[in-house]
Structure 1
Amino acid sequence: MAAPFPNLYTLRKVAESAAKGCDVCYKPSSSVLITPDKKDFFYICPAHLKDRYFCTPKIDEDAVKAKREKELAEEKERLVKEYQEKQRKKKEKEKEKDKEKDKEKDKDKNKEKDKDEDKDKSKEKEENQKNSGGETPKQEDEPRVFELKIAFYQQRLQRKRQAEAAKRDRERASQPNYFPSVPTEPPRK
Structure 2
Amino acid sequence: MTVAPDNAQQGASRQYRAMRDFLEVMDDTLPGKFEITREGIVHDMREPVGPHELTTLHLRKRLERVMPEDLVAHTGRPDVEAELEGIMRRPDVMVIAWADMDVPGSFDPQTLIAAIEVVSRSNPDNDWVTKLRDYSLIGVPVYAIFDPRTGTGAVLTGIHPTPDGPRYATRKNFVYGEDVTIADWTISTNGLPRYRSQESERPGH
TM-score, normalized by length of structure 1? 0.21
When you count strand as a share of all residues, which structure comes out higher? 2
TM-score, normalized by length of structure 2? 0.20
When you count helix as a share of all residues, which structure comes out higher? 1
